[in-house]
Amino acid sequence: MHAALVCAALPLFLGALLCDWAYARSHQVQWTNFASWLVAGGLIFVCLALLWGAVDVLRSSATRHRRGLIYLLLLLASFAGGVVNALVHARDGWAAMPTGFVLSAVVLVLAAAAGLLGLADLCRRTTT
């Protein structure tokens, strides 16, 4: 189920990336404000998934363990990246750019990869 939490974060991170892009194009500061909230919202889901996922993987059987660890590391990386991204977005105005835009893209990719791994694991477990 924690895989679903990661997937819930994806549209928020995608939204943040689009807002960053819109800010870069338009220089309208409201876009970076939107991005700040979307990054923060995505972080909450990733954080919950990380906690739940950690408990799940550490309690799991040895065969599932390796894949689980990669999943956890991806989650951890997207969480850490998200925290840094949130702090970068807390800078005033253009000081968040272009770092914020790049980080939003990186975090989105990491979270998407974690989500895919998590979903694949979920499918495997429900079919066997």
Q: What backbone torsions phi and psi does residue 105 show, to the nearest 5 degrees?
A: -65, -45
Distance CA 58, CA 73 (A): 13
Our CB check for another protein shows the closer of 36 and 104 to be 36
Contact indicator for 1, 52 with CB cutoff of 8 Å: yes
Our CB check for another protein shows the closer of 58 and 123 to be 58
Asked whether position 73 contacts another protein by CB under 8 A, the answer is: yes
Tokens, residue 113: 């990869």
Asked whether position 76 contacts another protein by CB under 8 A, the answer is: yes
Binding-site ranges for another protein (CB under 8 A): 27-30, 33, 36-37, 40, 54, 58, 65, 69, 72-73, 76-77, 80, 83-84, 86-95
